Amino acid sequence: MTDNELKELVAGLAVSNAENAQGLSVLRALFRETDEQINKTDEQMKKTDEQMRRTVEQMRRTDEQMKRTDEQMKRTDEKLERIGIRMGNIADNNGMNAEEYFFNSLEAKPFLGGIKYDDVKRNVYSFKQKLEDEYDIVMYNGNCIALIECKYKAHENDLRKLMDNKVGNFKELFPYYKDYKIYLGLASFSFYPELEEMAKEKGVAVLKQKGDVMEIVAENLKAY
C-alpha cells in the first residue's frame, strides 16, 4: 500500500467516525425527547387517574345523597298521604254533619219557598247504563221535587254543578218525575256573600244555619 492510499484510508475512517458520532448524537437527542414525552405522558396519566378517582368519589357521594333524598321523599310522601287521609276524613265528617243537620231541619219543617212537601229523603241514589248520581236530600209532594245539595262550606262550582248537571241527571234517572216542577236548594254552614247573591239570582234557595235554627232564603225560587 502506498502512502497516498494509506492517507486516503485514514481520512475515510476519520469521516466515518465523525458521521457515526453525529448519528449517535442525533439518536441520543431522539431518546431524550422520547423519554421526556414518556415522562409527560406518565404525568398526564397520573393526573387523569387522579381526576377519575375524584370523579368516582364524587359520583359515589352523589349516589348516597340521592338515596338519602329518595328516602326523605318517601317519608314525606307517606306523611302527606297520612295527612291527606286525615283531612279527607275531616272533610267527610264535616259534610256528613252538614247533611245531617239540614236533613233533620227539613224533615221537621218540610217547607221550601212556601211550598210544603210530603216526604223528605236523604242520599237518594240511582244509576242507568253509564249515568249515575246521588242526591243529598230530595223532597217530594204531588207535583214538586226539591233537590238539596249539602256542603260544609259551599263554593260556586257546587252551585253550578247543581244547576248544570244534577237537575238533568235527575230527570234522566227518575223519569217518573219528568212532569214535576223541580226546585233547587244549596245548603251550607258557610256562604260567602257573592255565592249567596248568585244563588238568589239563579232562583236557587239558600239554606244556612242561623244560631240554632235553619234559615231559608228563597224569595226568587224558580222551577228547573
110 within 8 A of 116, measured Cβ to Cβ: yes
Rounded distance, CA 124 to CA 132, Å?
A: 11
> Quick one: residue 65, left, alpha or beta (phi over 0 = left, psi -120 to 50 = alpha)?
alpha
User: Rounded mean pLDDT of the chain?
Assistant: 82
Residue 96 cell numbers, joined? 256528613
C-alpha span between 9 and 3 (Å, rounded): 10
- What confidence score (pLDDT) does residue 45 get? 78
Determine the distance from the C-alpha atom of residue 24 to the mean position of all C-alpha atoms in its chain, rounded to a whole number. Answer: 79
DSSP output for 140-167: E-SSEEEEEEEEEE--HHHHHHIIIIIH
**Residue ranges of domains in the chain, CATH in brackets:** 98-217 (3.40.1350.10)
**Which pLDDT value is given to residue 194?**
96
CB 181 within 8 A of CB 120: no
State the pLDDT confidence band at 27, using cuts at 50, 70 and 90.
low
84: left (phi over 0), alpha (psi -120 to 50) or beta: alpha
**Which helix (H) or strand (E) covers residue 136, if one does?**
strand 131-140
Please write the tens of the pLDDT for every residue from 196-219.
Answer: 999 999 999 999 998 778 999 998
Angle at 170 between CA 167 and CA 174, to 5 degrees: 150
Lowest mean pLDDT among 8-17, 32-41, 55-64, 170-179: 8-17
The SS3 of residue 190 is strand
